[in-house]
């Protein structure tokens, strides 16, 4: 059997951060080159578009999933749901069903979930990731690596992210045997899921890391059976932080005598509160209140610029209040109860850093997750 010249495999593992990597002798024989990568401010909804485009969030347009825009909100049809008792309206199963129905109704192809956004407020918001970012044309602004692959007619494989991690890996395993592809990207989230549930340490985390090593070795061996040269990249978008405390930020704002939708709007992500001011009085009161809290801080203009999230139109908020590492906003629009692990804190906190493990000596080495775009593109065009 004749081998094909080369293939590049980009094995993505959500939340497999640098601090997690340091605890294990992970892929020591396959990928001797290890790099700590700066992450971006935000969540995977921010990180993945940065990886796929090589650009900062204010350029590609993605940050948090929800943003204030009552005029364009697709959620107006849910207003009647506010009449339901919280025992029904707040149930995860109910909200999952509604999310699936909305996905079909509007033809959304991206990751979509309404989480725990209150039904009496959800119509004030629009949703950013309506299109599949793993496909050409998926980003809000500009092109992604998938647009480049199509443009240059690269034969590649990117398994459907809706599939389970194991099914995606098996799909790539089979594609390698066909010897038709020269480039592959695969998104997995098993470690992220486990650490959200139990934190960053424990036997279950160890087992998932061992599983990743086993699957990487399996793909490595399969690739070498059918290709002369294999460039292997195992990397993440951010790390994970153990949750140590929670704080009800929403209640501090709701006692100020301001009306939601008239004086202000707010979205309470897991680790940040994003506020839109609809008049000067609301701005003054809310800023004074948040500046007195010791569970987090108001993100400065300088930090917004540095992190690439200072959107000119303040699409994602006029003000962002960021929680201290390990602190959660509970109750919030993403969840009503605390969980043991979370990310989305200060990107310069130690637990926030992502990582890259590879068998390729890169010069210069990537410094941030956004640098992975050029790594992917150069390998595709080799």
pLDDT value of position 382: 84
pLDDT value of position 1: 73
Write down which residue in 76, 93, 127 finishes a domain: 127
**335-346 exposure pattern, b = at least 16 Cβ within 10 A, e = fewer:** beebbbbbbbbb
Residue 184: helix, strand or coil by DSSP? Answer: strand
In which band, very low, low, confident or very high, does the pLDDT at 59 lie, cut at 50, 70 and 90? very high
> At CA 118, angle to CA 246 and CA 111, rounded to 5?
85
343 falls within a domain: no
Q: Do 35 and 140 belong together in one domain?
A: yes
Whether 80 has a pLDDT exceeding 90, the answer reads no
Q: Do 197 and 317 belong together in one domain?
A: no
Q: Do 163 and 186 belong together in one domain?
A: yes
273 falls within a domain: yes
Write down which residue in 112, 127, 142 finishes a domain: 127
In which band, very low, low, confident or very high, does the pLDDT at 79 lie, cut at 50, 70 and 90? confident
Q: Do 110 and 164 belong together in one domain?
A: no
Q: What is the CATH number of the domain that holds 9?
A: 3.40.720.10
Whether 359 has a pLDDT exceeding 90, the answer reads yes
- Condensed to tens digits (0 to 9), the pLDDT of residues 251-278 reads 999 999 999 999 999 999 999 999 999 9
Whether 86 has a pLDDT exceeding 90, the answer reads no
- Look at strands 327-329 and 245-247 and give their pairing: parallel
pLDDT value of position 143: 98
Q: Do 220 and 249 belong together in one domain?
A: no
- Condensed to tens digits (0 to 9), the pLDDT of residues 177-200 reads 999 999 999 999 999 999 999 999
pLDDT value of position 224: 98
Q: What is d(CA 355, CA 34) in angstroms, rounded to the nearest whole number?
A: 7
Q: Do 170 and 230 belong together in one domain?
A: yes
91 falls within a domain: yes
- Inter-axis angle of helices 372-380 and 44-53, to 10 degrees? 40
Tokens 């959660």 correspond to 328
Q: Do 232 and 172 belong together in one domain?
A: yes
Whether 98 has a pLDDT exceeding 80, the answer reads yes
- Look at strands 66-68 and 125-127 and give their pairing: antiparallel
Q: Do 231 and 248 belong together in one domain?
A: no
Q: Do 226 and 365 belong together in one domain?
A: yes
Average pLDDT over residues 288-299: 98
Of the chain, the percentage scoring pLDDT greater than 70 comes to 100
Q: Do 94 and 237 belong together in one domain?
A: no
DSSP string, 28-90: TTT--EEEEEB--SS-HHHHHHHHHHSS-HHHH--SSSEEE-TTT-TTGGGGGGGGS-HHHHT
In which band, very low, low, confident or very high, does the pLDDT at 83 lie, cut at 50, 70 and 90? confident
pLDDT value of position 206: 98
Q: Do 263 and 117 belong together in one domain?
A: no
Q: What is d(CA 1, CA 128) in angstroms, rounded to the nearest whole number?
A: 47
Domain count for the chain: 3
Q: What is the CATH number of the domain that holds 328?
A: 3.30.1360.180
Average pLDDT over residues 129-140: 98
Q: Do 146 and 172 belong together in one domain?
A: yes
pLDDT value of position 85: 87
Residue ranges making up the domain that contains 121? 66-127
pLDDT value of position 21: 98
- Condensed to tens digits (0 to 9), the pLDDT of residues 152-165 reads 999 999 999 999 99
Determine the length of the chain: 382
User: pLDDT averaged over the chain?
Assistant: 97
53 falls within a domain: yes
Write down which residue in 101, 127, 153 finishes a domain: 127
């Amino acid at each position: 059997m004749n081998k094909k010249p080369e293939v590049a495999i980009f094995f993505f593992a959500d939340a497999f951060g640098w601090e997690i990597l340091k605890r294990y002798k992970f892929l020591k024989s396959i990928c001797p080159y290890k790099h700590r990568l700066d992450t971006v401010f935000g969540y995977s909804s921010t990180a993945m578009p940065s990886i796929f485009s090589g650009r900062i969030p204010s350029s590609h347009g993605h940050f948090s999933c929800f943003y204030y825009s009552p005029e364009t909100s697709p959620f107006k049809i849910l207003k009647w749901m506010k009449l339901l008792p919280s025992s029904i309206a707040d149930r995860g199963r109910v909200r999952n069903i509604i999310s699936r129905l909305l996905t079909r109704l509007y033809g959304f192809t991206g990751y979509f979930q309404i989480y725990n956004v209150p039904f009496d407020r959800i119509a004030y918001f629009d949703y950013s990731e309506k299109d599949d970012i793993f496909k050409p044309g998926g980003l809000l602004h500009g092109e992604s690596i998938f647009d480049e692959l199509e443009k240059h007619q690269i034969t590649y494989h990117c398994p459907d992210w809706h599939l389970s991690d194991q099914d995606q890996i098996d799909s790539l395993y089979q594609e390698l045997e066909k010897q038709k592809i020269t480039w592959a990207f695969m998104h997995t989230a098993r470690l992220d899921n486990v650490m959200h549930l139990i934190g960053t340490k424990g036997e279950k985390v160890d087992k998932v890391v061992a599983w990743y090593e086993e699957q990487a070795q399996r793909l490595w061996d399969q690739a070498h059976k059918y290709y002369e040269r294999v460039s292997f990249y195992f990397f993440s978008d951010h790390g994970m932080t153990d949750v140590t405390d929670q704080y009800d930020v929403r209640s501090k704002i709701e006692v100020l005598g301001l009306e939601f939708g008239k004086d202000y709007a707010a979205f309470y992500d897991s680790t940040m509160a994003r506020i839109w001011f609809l008049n000067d009085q609301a701005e003054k009161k809310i800023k004074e209140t948040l500046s007195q809290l010791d569970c987090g801080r108001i993100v400065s203009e300088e930090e917004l610029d540095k992190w690439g999230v200072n959107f000119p139109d303040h699409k994602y908020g006029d003000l962002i209040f960021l929680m201290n590492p390990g602190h959660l906003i509970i109750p919030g629009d993403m969840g009503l109860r605390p969980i043991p692990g979370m990310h989305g804190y200060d990107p310069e906190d130690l637990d926030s850093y992502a990582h890259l493990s590879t068998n390729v000596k890169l010069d210069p080495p990537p410094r941030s997750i956004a640098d992975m775009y050029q790594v992917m593109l150069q390998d595709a065009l080799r």
